[in-house]
Amino acid sequence: MGQLEDMAMFARIVEAGSMSRVAEQTGIARSAVSRRLAALEQSLNTQLLVRNTRNSTLTDAGSSFYERARQILADVQELNSETSGSQTQLDGDLRIAAPVSFGLLHLAGVVNEFAEKYPALSLHLDFNDRQVDLIEEGLDLAIRIADLKDSDYLARKIATIRRVLCASPEYLEAFGSPTVPKDLAAHRILGYTNTPTSSWLMEDPDGRRIRVNPPVTISANNGDYLCAAARDGLGIGVAPTFIAGPDIKRGKLVRVLPEYTIPLLGAYVVYPRTRFLSRRARCFIDFLVERFGDHPHWDNFESSSGSGPIGVTSKT
């Protein structure tokens, strides 16, 4: 047997929880399963599992080896499928990380469509606003909302993300509306903490960039909460239109300094440079691009003044 077969046996032991269970599942004698694992460990000169009579526990080296082995085995399966011409169906595992608000509001429905189209595919979703390490956590793809200039990952843009400065009508009635960016220093500000900087960058009607750093009254790492806080009259915040659009349409939120625009971001699918991109991953990315794009559906909200789609100006 070669190392690839031993690697596959090791992965089965990890996923089954014990060598005895693998023996039952495969019909191979437990002693043979044990020998295969021992041969793999000997070739690596590393202990991968701590065995006892009931189960097996991964060592640190074993845990790292398992994550890489699982991906290698999946890539081999994918390569065999592509070479044999089996292109009509997708199967195997696809592990995806996505930010919470965007994931639940807009990605979830698209993922469900994709799952219905490819029922043999196993999808695993991690909704989390932190920046995950795809290789360390065994993920295939991640959705990132950012100005993605420098990255350790390869990326493909799936949508344009527009943001607006907004507050509730009640807040503006009580505290007044700022007329220029420097007026924000006198207001209650809602700040999003999952950004590299707390300052806000805006462009005036002539395209000149202005950076302001108003003191933050309430900060949070979740855009849905900050939008709700603005809706409840607690201050002025910058919100992506994929969250704030419906509230602006209903008049629950009002754009502040609408003549000043906030630089665009993108929603990207990222994946490791060193990893073979499986056909199931490529199909999923194509599916997202087709559903979203530069003018995604969440920007199709008319403002209360009828001035056009939220977050879209004559300059974009």
Q: Residue 251: what pLDDT?
A: 94
What are the tens digits of pLDDT across the range 37-79?
998 999 999 999 887 656 778 899 998 998 888 878 877 876 7
Q: Residue 168: what pLDDT?
A: 98
Q: Residue 117 belongs to a domain with what CATH number?
A: 3.40.190.10
Q: Residue 310: what pLDDT?
A: 44
What are the tens digits of pLDDT across the range 294-306?
888 888 865 444 4
Residues 176, 249 share a domain: yes
Torsion sign, CA atoms 226, 232, 235, 240: positive
Question: DSSP character for 103?
Answer: I
**Residue pair 165/257 in contact by the 8 Å Cβ criterion:** yes
Residue 260 resides in a domain: no
What are the tens digits of pLDDT across the range 206-255?
999 999 999 999 999 999 999 999 999 999 999 999 999 999 999 999 99
Residues 157, 28 share a domain: no
Instruction: Please name the residue ranges forming H helices in 118-268.
Output: 169-175, 223-231, 241-249
98 pLDDT more than 60: yes
Q: What percent of the chain has pLDDT over 90?
A: 53
Residues 210, 233 share a domain: yes
Task: Please state the length of the chain.
Answer: 316
Residues 286, 153 share a domain: yes
Residues 248, 175 share a domain: yes
Residue 311 resides in a domain: no
Instruction: Please name the residue ranges forming H helices in the chain.
Output: 3-16, 19-26, 30-44, 60-84, 100-102, 108-117, 169-175, 223-231, 241-249, 279-291
The domain of 202 spans: 163-255
Tokens coding 304: 């209360």
Residues 207, 75 share a domain: no
The total number of structural domains in the chain stands at 3
Residues 122, 170 share a domain: no
Min mean pLDDT across 5-14, 130-139, 256-265 is at 130-139
Residue 45 resides in a domain: yes
Half-sphere exposure of 150 (CA within 13 A, CB side): 0
Residues 170, 151 share a domain: no
